[in-house]
Amino acid sequence: MRLKNKKYSIMVLSILVSLIFAYKFLFADSSKNIKTNLPKSKSGFFLGTHVEISLYDNSSDEIFDECFNILKDVEDKMSINIDTSEVSNINKNAGKSPVKVSSQTFSVIKRGLYYSSLSKGHFDISIGSLVKLWEIGSENAKVPSKEEIEKSKSTINYKNILLDEKAQTVKLANKDMFIDLGGIAKGYAADVLANVLKSKKIESAIINLGGNVYALGSKPNGKTWNIGIQNPFEPRGKHLGILNINNKSIVTSGVYERFLEKNGKRYHHILSPFTGYPVENSLVSITIIADNSIDADGLSTTVFSLGLDAGRELVESLDGIDAIFVTNKKEVYTTSSLKNNFSLLNNDFKIIHK
């Protein structure tokens, strides 16, 4: 009996071991998919906004550390709120002498000048003095006097930003000029992060820099990302529609979050270099979809400032760029190639095919 029991025990043990190996073999792929469907996310605060990076591939904390170090480096170089930044140094030397900067800052300023020129000054990176004057979005926000606005307007002219490619220097030709890369630096940072993640073989990720979104690759299941487009008449997180995209950056500019109210009038943060006041047109938000986030970032302010007709004409003329326009009448316009990739969720809005 002992021998029989021993043989029986060995047989049972063998079956259990076989089942364990079979389970691992059969369900290895599915368990991996379950794991990658749940992102590993980390957040922080950089470039004046909340940042969240979500990785759907196997990843380590070192990748997040590297990404946050990159964001800190961009902030240290390009923020006007850091007294020792390269951009602050350029502003301190306005009308005096050229300032040598890093290749990163130089390339962002150069791209900013491209969009300043493309928009014919509607987007102008030398608008810093006006931004500082209004300070919309901060606790010091105020409506400046007409005299203050006129003085500030006289300092704005992107053509007076002088670049020396060989020496890699930037000079502001006139005293009191003040550049601000807030309308383009986040886009640059998102592109750098996306390239780092690609180099680490990350195939599915969402980079969110305060609403500046880069959807890397596709969903872990191979399907397109579903990106919600903010309803500009509702609190953040309420969407008017869904955009289906892969490997694209999505940037929205609108009048609904950063604003100042005084004497019953609302002043939003998108300022016109020509009037010195917030841009006034029928738009309440504009979403740009592009391969590169720096382009989506620069174009979002540009297109909003141009308005519906001129802005749409500009976007349609650019390769690889699409846009969603939302008006104060809750009308939604899209560029032609987006018609099959965007769908409304809210019946209060109406897509206008034009």
pLDDT of residue 188: 96
DSSP state of 335: -
In this model, does residue 53 exceed pLDDT 80? yes
Largest CA distance in the chain: 106
- Average of pLDDT values for 20-47? 57
Place of tokens 């003095």: 129
pLDDT of residue 11: 41
- Average of pLDDT values for 41-69? 91
Average pLDDT taken over every residue of the chain? 87
pLDDT of residue 38: 75
- Average of pLDDT values for 116-136? 92
* pLDDT tens digit sequence for 88-106: 999 999 999 999 999 999 9
- Average of pLDDT values for 224-247? 92
Task: Give the DSSP H or E segment for 27.
Answer: helix 2-36
Higher pLDDT, 20 or 45: 45
CA 235 to chain centre: 19
pLDDT of residue 247: 95
pLDDT of residue 244: 94
pLDDT of residue 269: 87
For the stretch 163-166, contacts whose Cβ atoms lie closer than 8 Å and that sit 24 or more positions apart, written own/partner, are 163/106, 163/109, 163/110, 163/113, 164/98
Q: How confident is the model at residue 37 (pLDDT cuts 50, 70, 90)?
A: low
CATH level 2 (architecture), domain 61-172: Orthogonal Bundle (1.10)
* pLDDT tens digit sequence for 179-193: 999 889 999 999 999
- Average of pLDDT values for 327-345? 92
Nearest to 179 by CA among 252, 123, 141: 123
What CATH number was assigned to the domain covering residues 40-44+202-351? Answer: 3.10.520.10
Higher pLDDT, 259 or 180: 180
Higher pLDDT, 266 or 83: 83
In this model, does residue 246 exceed pLDDT 70? yes
pLDDT of residue 13: 40
Determine which of 120-129, 160-169, 275-284, 345-354 has the lowest per-residue pLDDT on average.
345-354
pLDDT of residue 137: 80
Residue 97 exposed, middle or buried by CB count within 10 Å (0-12, 13-18, 19+): exposed
Contact 94, 174 (CB under 8 A): yes
Domain residue spans in the chain? 40-44+202-351, 61-172
* pLDDT tens digit sequence for 306-333: 999 999 999 999 999 999 999 999 999 9
Higher pLDDT, 254 or 75: 75
Nearest to 107 by CA among 188, 191, 166: 188
Q: How confident is the model at residue 1 (pLDDT cuts 50, 70, 90)?
A: very low
| Residue 105, token pair as written in the block | 């800052």
Q: How confident is the model at residue 29 (pLDDT cuts 50, 70, 90)?
A: very low
